[in-house]
């Protein structure tokens, strides 16, 4: 599979995984909590696979371009050996070659940043999967922190990909910039919601207040608050879906360079 196909396939795997995760969280929100974790695990696994494919693609692209460049340089070198006017024509050519080398260097750095962004997102997906699997066995704060870290890493990875696209000044792919920016926001909202829930729970545990006579009232308030907190994360989840789909469309219609 060529680098272009890897990037497009990876982008759609990521979009599909986001949709499955969002469906799982939506069903939990409406009371079907038993199906949430399996769907989230499947969704995050697809996202991780998609991000790995996107991380591998720039490396393949850079390697193939370097091979082509080496072949061209070898042909040029053998052709120049047969010319007597190499010294005269070298000075203006050197300036041009240096400019091309600088552009290639910037592009290479960009590819490296794109690769890093995809790797960070894949790491975030894996962290989410581990946290969710451990929560299925026993719900603990440490597992929630893993999920928070996972969403934060996904947000950071998407942001790095935005920076990578914006550095490609001559031909910025705006759909990918918009898609990754939206994903940054969506994953960030989910991380914020998770952190808010954990900190609030810790505060309630440390307060040690309210006895049996207030317990029913407390339970109702807690239920309402939990719905609000779930709603924020759910909105973030669907925002991330929109961003992933936009990015996948942008990746699909991106002109081949």
For the residues 30-39, what does the mean pLDDT come to?
90
pTM over 0.95: no
| Predicted confidence band of residue 119 (pLDDT cuts 50, 70, 90) | very high
pLDDT at 169: 74
For the stretch 241-254, what's the b/e string if a residue is b when 16 or more beta carbons lie within 10 angstroms of its beta carbon?
Answer: bbbbbbbbbbbeeb
- H or E segment to which residue 75 belongs: helix 36-81
Nearest to 115 by CA among 191, 46, 62: 62
Question: For the chain, which residues make up each domain, given as ranges?
Answer: 3-63+103-253
Q: At residue 80, does pLDDT exceed 80?
A: no
């Amino acid at each position: 599979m060529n680098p272009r196909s890897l990037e497009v396939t990876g982008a759609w795997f990521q979009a599909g995984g986001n949709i499955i995760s969002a469906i799982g969280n939506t069903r939990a929100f409406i009371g079907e909590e038993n199906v949430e974790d399996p769907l989230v695990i499947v969704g995050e696994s697809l996202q991780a696979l998609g991000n790995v494919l996107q991380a591998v693609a720039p490396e393949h692209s850079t390697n193939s371009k370097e091979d082509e460049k080496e072949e061209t340089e070898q042909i040029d070198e053998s052709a120049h050996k047969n010319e007597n006017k190499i010294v005269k024509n070298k000075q203006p050519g050197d300036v041009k070659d240096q400019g091309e080398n600088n552009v290639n260097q910037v592009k290479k750095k960009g590819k490296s940043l794109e690769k890093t962004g995809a790797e960070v997102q894949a790491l975030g997906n894996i962290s989410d999967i581990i946290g969710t699997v451990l929560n299925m066995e026993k719900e603990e704060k440490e597992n929630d922190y893993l999920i928070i870290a996972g969403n934060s890493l996904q947000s950071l990875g998407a942001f790095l990909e935005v920076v990578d696209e914006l550095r490609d000044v001559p031909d910025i792919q705006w759909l990918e910039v918009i898609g990754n920016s939206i994903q940054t926001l969506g994953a960030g909202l989910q991380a914020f919601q998770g952190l808010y829930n954990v900190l609030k729970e810790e505060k309630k545990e440390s307060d040690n207040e309210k006895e049996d006579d207030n317990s029913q009232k407390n339970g109702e308030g807690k239920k309402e608050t939990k719905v609000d907190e779930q709603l924020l994360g759910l909105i973030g989840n669907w925002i991330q879906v929109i961003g992933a789909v936009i990015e996948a469309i942008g990746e699909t219609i991106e002109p081949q360079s």
